[in-house]
Protein backbone atom coordinates (compact mmCIF):
# COMPACT_ATOMS: atom_id res chain seq x y z
CA UNK A 1 0.00 0.00 0.00
CA UNK A 2 1.15 3.52 -0.67
CA UNK A 3 1.40 6.19 1.98
CA UNK A 4 2.93 9.52 2.88
CA UNK A 5 6.63 9.08 3.44
CA UNK A 6 8.06 12.54 4.18
CA UNK A 7 6.86 16.12 4.29
CA UNK A 8 7.82 19.29 6.06
CA UNK A 9 4.38 20.86 5.63
CA UNK A 10 0.82 19.95 4.91
CA UNK A 11 -1.09 20.24 1.67
CA UNK A 12 -4.18 22.41 1.75
CA UNK A 13 -7.59 20.80 1.20
CA UNK A 14 -9.48 21.99 -1.86
CA UNK A 15 -13.09 23.12 -1.57
CA UNK A 16 -15.01 24.99 -4.23
CA UNK A 17 -12.52 27.16 -6.10
CA UNK A 18 -8.78 26.49 -5.80
CA UNK A 19 -7.65 26.95 -2.15
CA UNK A 20 -6.24 30.30 -1.15
CA UNK A 21 -3.61 29.14 1.38
CA UNK A 22 -0.31 27.95 -0.05
CA UNK A 23 1.38 24.93 1.47
CA UNK A 24 4.67 25.86 3.07
CA UNK A 25 6.48 22.92 1.46
CA UNK A 26 5.56 20.39 -1.19
CA UNK A 27 4.68 17.05 0.36
CA UNK A 28 6.57 14.09 -1.11
CA UNK A 29 4.64 10.85 -0.96
CA UNK A 30 4.10 7.50 -2.59
CA UNK A 31 0.34 7.47 -3.12
CA UNK A 32 -2.04 4.57 -3.18
CA UNK A 33 -3.78 5.95 -6.29
CA UNK A 34 -2.44 8.14 -9.07
CA UNK A 35 -5.17 9.98 -10.96
CA UNK A 36 -3.96 10.98 -14.42
CA UNK A 37 -6.01 13.88 -15.73
CA UNK A 38 -5.89 14.91 -19.38
CA UNK A 39 -6.13 18.67 -18.87
CA UNK A 40 -7.87 19.38 -22.16
CA UNK A 41 -10.66 21.65 -20.96
CA UNK A 42 -12.95 22.28 -23.92
CA UNK A 43 -16.02 22.84 -21.71
CA UNK A 44 -14.41 24.71 -18.80
CA UNK A 45 -14.93 21.87 -16.32
CA UNK A 46 -11.36 21.06 -15.29
CA UNK A 47 -11.54 22.91 -11.96
CA UNK A 48 -14.64 20.96 -10.93
CA UNK A 49 -12.90 17.72 -11.90
CA UNK A 50 -9.78 18.53 -9.86
CA UNK A 51 -11.85 19.62 -6.87
CA UNK A 52 -13.80 16.38 -6.94
CA UNK A 53 -10.53 14.45 -6.61
CA UNK A 54 -8.78 16.66 -4.08
CA UNK A 55 -11.88 17.01 -1.88
CA UNK A 56 -11.99 13.26 -1.29
CA UNK A 57 -12.02 12.02 2.28
CA UNK A 58 -9.27 9.61 1.21
CA UNK A 59 -6.08 11.69 1.01
CA UNK A 60 -3.44 9.20 -0.15
CA UNK A 61 -3.79 10.21 -3.78
CA UNK A 62 -1.83 12.17 -6.34
CA UNK A 63 -3.07 14.03 -9.40
CA UNK A 64 -0.88 14.07 -12.49
CA UNK A 65 -2.27 16.77 -14.79
CA UNK A 66 -0.98 16.51 -18.35
CA UNK A 67 -0.97 19.56 -20.64
CA UNK A 68 -0.04 19.91 -24.26
CA UNK A 69 0.30 23.26 -26.02
CA UNK A 70 -3.22 23.46 -27.38
CA UNK A 71 -5.33 26.50 -26.52
CA UNK A 72 -7.82 24.27 -24.68
CA UNK A 73 -5.29 23.37 -21.96
CA UNK A 74 -5.45 26.01 -19.16
CA UNK A 75 -1.87 25.98 -17.90
CA UNK A 76 -2.47 28.80 -15.44
CA UNK A 77 -5.33 27.00 -13.72
CA UNK A 78 -3.35 23.78 -13.41
CA UNK A 79 -0.29 25.62 -12.09
CA UNK A 80 -2.46 27.25 -9.40
CA UNK A 81 -3.58 23.85 -8.17
CA UNK A 82 -0.01 22.53 -8.18
CA UNK A 83 1.20 25.50 -6.10
CA UNK A 84 -1.59 25.11 -3.57
CA UNK A 85 -1.65 21.34 -3.14
CA UNK A 86 1.48 19.23 -3.01
CA UNK A 87 -0.40 16.22 -4.34
CA UNK A 88 -0.74 17.84 -7.77
CA UNK A 89 2.05 17.64 -10.34
CA UNK A 90 2.10 18.91 -13.91
CA UNK A 91 3.45 17.29 -17.06
CA UNK A 92 3.93 19.56 -20.07
CA UNK A 93 4.14 18.16 -23.59
CA UNK A 94 5.53 19.92 -26.62
CA UNK A 95 3.20 20.60 -29.52
CA UNK A 96 -0.38 19.38 -29.75
CA UNK A 97 -0.66 15.77 -28.63
CA UNK A 98 -3.33 13.14 -29.01
CA UNK A 99 -5.06 11.67 -25.98
CA UNK A 100 -2.96 8.48 -26.17
CA UNK A 101 0.32 10.37 -25.80
CA UNK A 102 -1.21 12.53 -23.04
CA UNK A 103 -2.26 9.52 -20.97
CA UNK A 104 1.02 7.70 -21.54
CA UNK A 105 2.98 10.71 -20.27
CA UNK A 106 0.85 10.79 -17.13
CA UNK A 107 1.30 7.06 -16.50
CA UNK A 108 5.07 7.44 -16.89
CA UNK A 109 5.15 10.19 -14.24
CA UNK A 110 2.75 8.45 -11.83
CA UNK A 111 4.07 6.95 -8.61
CA UNK A 112 0.93 5.34 -7.19
CA UNK A 113 0.13 1.69 -6.67
CA UNK A 114 -2.90 2.05 -8.95
CA UNK A 115 -3.64 4.19 -12.00
CA UNK A 116 -6.94 5.94 -12.71
CA UNK A 117 -7.33 7.84 -15.99
CA UNK A 118 -9.81 10.74 -15.98
CA UNK A 119 -10.72 13.58 -18.32
CA UNK A 120 -11.58 17.16 -17.46
CA UNK A 121 -15.32 16.48 -17.69
CA UNK A 122 -15.27 13.61 -15.19
CA UNK A 123 -16.19 14.02 -11.54
CA UNK A 124 -16.04 11.59 -8.63
CA UNK A 125 -18.00 11.71 -5.39
CA UNK A 126 -16.58 12.55 -1.96
CA UNK A 127 -16.25 8.97 -0.65
CA UNK A 128 -15.43 7.29 -3.96
CA UNK A 129 -11.67 6.83 -3.50
CA UNK A 130 -12.17 5.46 0.01
CA UNK A 131 -14.67 2.92 -1.33
CA UNK A 132 -12.17 1.92 -4.00
CA UNK A 133 -9.41 1.42 -1.45
CA UNK A 134 -11.70 -0.54 0.86
CA UNK A 135 -12.53 -2.92 -1.97
CA UNK A 136 -8.88 -3.17 -3.02
CA UNK A 137 -7.97 -4.22 0.50
CA UNK A 138 -10.93 -6.59 0.78
CA UNK A 139 -9.92 -8.25 -2.50
CA UNK A 140 -6.23 -8.45 -1.51
CA UNK A 141 -5.05 -5.87 -4.04
CA UNK A 142 -6.24 -7.21 -7.39
CA UNK A 143 -4.62 -6.27 -10.70
CA UNK A 144 -7.77 -4.51 -11.95
CA UNK A 145 -10.72 -3.03 -10.07
CA UNK A 146 -13.84 -2.42 -12.16
CA UNK A 147 -16.55 0.03 -11.13
CA UNK A 148 -19.61 1.72 -12.57
CA UNK A 149 -20.15 5.14 -14.08
CA UNK A 150 -23.00 7.42 -15.07
CA UNK A 151 -23.44 9.95 -17.83
CA UNK A 152 -25.06 13.33 -17.15
CA UNK A 153 -27.02 14.65 -20.12
CA UNK A 154 -29.78 17.26 -20.16
CA UNK A 155 -30.11 17.13 -16.39
CA UNK A 156 -30.57 13.37 -16.21
CA UNK A 157 -28.05 10.78 -15.05
CA UNK A 158 -27.88 7.67 -17.22
CA UNK A 159 -26.25 4.40 -16.08
CA UNK A 160 -23.24 3.12 -17.99
CA UNK A 161 -23.57 0.30 -20.48
CA UNK A 162 -21.81 -2.14 -18.13
CA UNK A 163 -24.20 -1.57 -15.21
CA UNK A 164 -26.07 -4.86 -15.55
CA UNK A 165 -22.86 -6.86 -16.00
CA UNK A 166 -21.27 -5.38 -12.89
CA UNK A 167 -24.44 -5.87 -10.83
CA UNK A 168 -24.18 -9.63 -11.39
CA UNK A 169 -20.64 -9.90 -10.02
CA UNK A 170 -19.75 -10.88 -6.46
CA UNK A 171 -17.26 -9.16 -4.17
CA UNK A 172 -14.59 -11.85 -4.42
CA UNK A 173 -11.80 -11.43 -7.01
CA UNK A 174 -11.80 -13.65 -10.08
CA UNK A 175 -9.77 -14.46 -13.17
CA UNK A 176 -10.95 -12.64 -16.26
CA UNK A 177 -11.38 -15.94 -18.12
CA UNK A 178 -13.89 -16.96 -15.46
CA UNK A 179 -16.10 -13.95 -16.31
CA UNK A 180 -15.64 -13.56 -20.09
CA UNK A 181 -18.92 -11.67 -20.41
CA UNK A 182 -17.08 -8.60 -19.09
CA UNK A 183 -15.39 -8.35 -22.49
CA UNK A 184 -18.83 -7.45 -23.77
CA UNK A 185 -18.70 -4.16 -21.87
CA UNK A 186 -17.35 -0.95 -23.43
CA UNK A 187 -13.58 -0.68 -23.10
CA UNK A 188 -13.08 2.54 -21.13
CA UNK A 189 -9.93 3.44 -19.24
CA UNK A 190 -11.83 5.59 -16.73
CA UNK A 191 -14.12 2.95 -15.22
CA UNK A 192 -11.34 0.85 -13.69
CA UNK A 193 -8.19 1.01 -11.59
CA UNK A 194 -5.16 -0.72 -13.09
CA UNK A 195 -2.30 -1.79 -10.89
CA UNK A 196 0.82 0.13 -11.91
CA UNK A 197 2.98 -2.98 -11.60
CA UNK A 198 0.79 -4.64 -14.21
CA UNK A 199 0.98 -1.56 -16.43
CA UNK A 200 4.78 -1.57 -16.31
CA UNK A 201 5.21 -5.34 -16.53
CA UNK A 202 2.96 -5.63 -19.59
CA UNK A 203 4.46 -2.47 -21.15
CA UNK A 204 0.98 -1.09 -21.61
CA UNK A 205 0.60 2.13 -23.59
CA UNK A 206 -2.18 3.88 -25.46
CA UNK A 207 -1.61 4.01 -29.23
CA UNK A 208 -1.87 7.11 -31.38
CA UNK A 209 -5.17 7.70 -33.14
CA UNK A 210 -8.77 7.41 -32.00
CA UNK A 211 -10.41 4.65 -29.95
CA UNK A 212 -7.10 4.30 -28.13
CA UNK A 213 -8.63 2.60 -25.09
CA UNK A 214 -9.91 -0.56 -26.74
CA UNK A 215 -6.81 -2.72 -27.02
CA UNK A 216 -5.18 -1.34 -23.85
CA UNK A 217 -8.19 -2.27 -21.74
CA UNK A 218 -8.45 -5.73 -23.28
CA UNK A 219 -4.72 -6.33 -22.84
CA UNK A 220 -4.91 -5.34 -19.18
CA UNK A 221 -7.90 -7.58 -18.56
CA UNK A 222 -6.27 -10.58 -20.24
CA UNK A 223 -3.02 -10.07 -18.32
CA UNK A 224 -4.70 -9.62 -14.93
CA UNK A 225 -4.41 -12.59 -12.60
CA UNK A 226 -7.19 -11.23 -10.41
CA UNK A 227 -10.01 -8.79 -11.16
CA UNK A 228 -12.43 -7.34 -8.62
CA UNK A 229 -15.60 -5.28 -8.87
CA UNK A 230 -16.85 -2.32 -6.84
CA UNK A 231 -20.59 -1.92 -7.29
CA UNK A 232 -20.50 1.86 -7.12
CA UNK A 233 -21.06 4.39 -9.86
CA UNK A 234 -17.74 6.04 -9.10
CA UNK A 235 -17.33 8.37 -12.08
CA UNK A 236 -19.77 10.69 -13.77
CA UNK A 237 -19.02 11.86 -17.30
CA UNK A 238 -20.57 15.13 -18.41
CA UNK A 239 -20.39 15.08 -22.18
CA UNK A 240 -22.65 13.55 -24.77
CA UNK A 241 -20.07 11.66 -26.78
CA UNK A 242 -17.85 8.91 -25.43
CA UNK A 243 -14.91 9.99 -27.59
CA UNK A 244 -12.41 12.19 -25.75
CA UNK A 245 -12.66 15.74 -27.18
CA UNK A 246 -8.87 16.04 -27.54
CA UNK A 247 -8.96 13.18 -30.01
CA UNK A 248 -5.75 12.71 -31.96
CA UNK A 249 -4.25 15.06 -34.55
CA UNK A 250 -3.94 12.27 -37.12
CA UNK A 251 -6.68 9.94 -35.93
CA UNK A 252 -9.87 8.91 -37.70
CA UNK A 253 -12.79 6.77 -36.63
CA UNK A 254 -11.47 4.10 -39.00
CA UNK A 255 -8.78 3.48 -36.35
CA UNK A 256 -11.38 1.44 -34.49
CA UNK A 257 -10.91 -1.42 -36.95
CA UNK A 258 -7.20 -1.68 -36.11
CA UNK A 259 -8.03 -1.68 -32.41
CA UNK A 260 -10.36 -4.67 -32.63
CA UNK A 261 -8.01 -6.56 -34.94
CA UNK A 262 -5.34 -6.13 -32.26
CA UNK A 263 -7.72 -7.33 -29.56
CA UNK A 264 -8.69 -10.47 -31.46
CA UNK A 265 -5.00 -11.14 -32.11
CA UNK A 266 -4.49 -10.95 -28.34
CA UNK A 267 -7.22 -13.51 -27.75
CA UNK A 268 -5.64 -15.87 -30.24
CA UNK A 269 -2.17 -15.45 -28.72
CA UNK A 270 -3.54 -16.28 -25.28
CA UNK A 271 -5.71 -19.20 -26.45
CA UNK A 272 -8.78 -17.29 -25.26
CA UNK A 273 -10.75 -17.14 -28.51
CA UNK A 274 -13.25 -19.88 -27.67
CA UNK A 275 -14.08 -18.35 -24.29
CA UNK A 276 -14.01 -14.62 -24.96
CA UNK A 277 -14.68 -14.18 -28.69
CA UNK A 278 -18.52 -14.33 -28.57
CA UNK A 279 -18.65 -11.48 -26.05
CA UNK A 280 -15.96 -9.37 -27.68
CA UNK A 281 -17.57 -9.92 -31.09
CA UNK A 282 -20.91 -8.58 -29.84
CA UNK A 283 -19.18 -5.55 -28.34
CA UNK A 284 -17.28 -4.92 -31.57
CA UNK A 285 -20.38 -4.91 -33.77
CA UNK A 286 -22.29 -2.77 -31.27
CA UNK A 287 -19.40 -0.31 -31.32
CA UNK A 288 -19.45 -0.14 -35.12
CA UNK A 289 -23.22 0.35 -35.19
CA UNK A 290 -22.92 3.04 -32.53
CA UNK A 291 -20.42 5.00 -34.63
CA UNK A 292 -22.57 4.61 -37.74
CA UNK A 293 -25.55 5.94 -35.81
CA UNK A 294 -23.79 8.78 -34.00
CA UNK A 295 -24.65 12.19 -35.40
CA UNK A 296 -21.60 13.95 -36.88
CA UNK A 297 -19.25 11.02 -36.36
CA UNK A 298 -18.78 9.96 -39.98
CA UNK A 299 -19.27 12.04 -43.09
CA UNK A 300 -21.78 11.00 -45.73
CA UNK A 301 -18.95 9.88 -48.00
CA UNK A 302 -17.25 7.87 -45.22
CA UNK A 303 -20.30 5.93 -44.10
CA UNK A 304 -20.47 3.32 -46.90
CA UNK A 305 -16.76 2.54 -46.60
CA UNK A 306 -17.01 2.28 -42.81
CA UNK A 307 -19.98 -0.06 -43.14
CA UNK A 308 -18.12 -2.29 -45.58
CA UNK A 309 -15.18 -2.55 -43.19
CA UNK A 310 -17.61 -3.45 -40.40
CA UNK A 311 -19.20 -6.09 -42.61
CA UNK A 312 -15.79 -7.55 -43.43
CA UNK A 313 -14.99 -7.78 -39.72
CA UNK A 314 -18.31 -9.47 -39.07
CA UNK A 315 -17.48 -12.25 -41.47
CA UNK A 316 -13.82 -12.45 -40.46
CA UNK A 317 -14.28 -12.66 -36.68
CA UNK A 318 -17.68 -14.42 -36.47
CA UNK A 319 -17.36 -17.10 -33.75
CA UNK A 320 -18.54 -20.61 -34.46
CA UNK A 321 -22.12 -21.13 -33.36
CA UNK A 322 -22.64 -17.41 -32.67
CA UNK A 323 -26.19 -16.24 -31.96
CA UNK A 324 -26.79 -12.57 -32.66
CA UNK A 325 -28.90 -10.44 -30.29
CA UNK A 326 -32.66 -10.54 -30.56
CA UNK A 327 -35.07 -7.87 -31.70
CA UNK A 328 -34.26 -4.70 -33.63
CA UNK A 329 -30.59 -4.91 -32.70
CA UNK A 330 -30.41 -8.43 -34.08
CA UNK A 331 -31.84 -7.23 -37.39
CA UNK A 332 -29.04 -4.67 -37.65
CA UNK A 333 -26.47 -7.35 -36.87
CA UNK A 334 -27.87 -9.41 -39.76
CA UNK A 335 -27.70 -6.42 -42.10
CA UNK A 336 -24.04 -5.88 -41.21
CA UNK A 337 -23.39 -9.56 -41.81
CA UNK A 338 -24.99 -9.43 -45.25
CA UNK A 339 -23.30 -6.16 -46.27
CA UNK A 340 -26.64 -4.46 -46.96
CA UNK A 341 -25.71 -0.84 -46.30
CA UNK A 342 -28.82 0.70 -47.89
CA UNK A 343 -31.08 -1.48 -45.76
CA UNK A 344 -29.19 -0.54 -42.60
CA UNK A 345 -29.51 3.16 -43.43
CA UNK A 346 -33.25 2.76 -43.86
CA UNK A 347 -33.55 0.87 -40.57
CA UNK A 348 -31.48 3.48 -38.71
CA UNK A 349 -33.23 6.64 -39.94
CA UNK A 350 -36.10 6.63 -37.40
CA UNK A 351 -33.70 6.03 -34.50
CA UNK A 352 -31.30 8.76 -35.64
CA UNK A 353 -34.17 11.18 -36.06
CA UNK A 354 -35.33 10.50 -32.52
CA UNK A 355 -31.79 10.97 -31.20
CA UNK A 356 -31.66 14.55 -32.48
CA UNK A 357 -34.59 15.57 -30.30
CA UNK A 358 -34.19 13.29 -27.28
CA UNK A 359 -31.34 11.99 -25.17
CA UNK A 360 -29.49 10.53 -28.17
CA UNK A 361 -27.79 7.20 -28.72
CA UNK A 362 -24.53 8.48 -27.32
CA UNK A 363 -26.05 8.97 -23.88
CA UNK A 364 -26.24 5.24 -23.45
CA UNK A 365 -22.60 4.74 -24.33
CA UNK A 366 -21.06 2.44 -26.86
Per-residue pLDDT, 246: 57
Q: What is the pTM of this model?
A: 0.85
Question: Which of 132-141, 156-165, 199-208, 301-310 has the weakest average pLDDT?
Answer: 156-165
User: Which pairing describes strands 156-159 and 88-92: parallel, antiparallel, or unpaired?
Assistant: unpaired
Residues 234-266 pLDDT 10s = 999 886 555 555 566 778 999 999 999 999 999
Residues 40-84 pLDDT 10s = 988 899 999 999 999 999 999 999 999 999 999 999 999 999 999
Q: Burial of 144 by CB count in 10 Å (0-12 exposed, 13-18 middle, 19+ buried)?
A: buried
Residue 262's contacts (CB-CB under 8 Å, 6 or more residues apart) are 214, 215
Per-residue pLDDT, 240: 57
User: What is the residue-averaged pLDDT of the chain?
Assistant: 86
Q: How confident is the model at residue 347 (pLDDT cuts 50, 70, 90)?
A: confident
Residues 116-138 pLDDT 10s = 999 999 999 889 999 999 999 99
User: Which pairing describes strands 33-38 and 227-237: parallel, antiparallel, or unpaired?
Assistant: unpaired
Rounded percentage of the chain residues whose pLDDT exceeds 90? 71
Amino acid sequence: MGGIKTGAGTSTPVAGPPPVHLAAFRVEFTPMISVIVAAYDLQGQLGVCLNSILNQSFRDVEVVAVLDQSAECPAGLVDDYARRDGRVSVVRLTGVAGIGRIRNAGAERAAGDYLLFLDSDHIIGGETLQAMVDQLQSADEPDVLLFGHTRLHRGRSWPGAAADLLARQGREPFASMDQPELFGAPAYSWDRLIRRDLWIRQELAFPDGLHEEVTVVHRAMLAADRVAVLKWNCVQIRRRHTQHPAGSPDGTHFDVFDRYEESFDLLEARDALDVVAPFLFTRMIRHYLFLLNLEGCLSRSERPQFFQRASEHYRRFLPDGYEHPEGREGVKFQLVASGRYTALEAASLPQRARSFVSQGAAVRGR
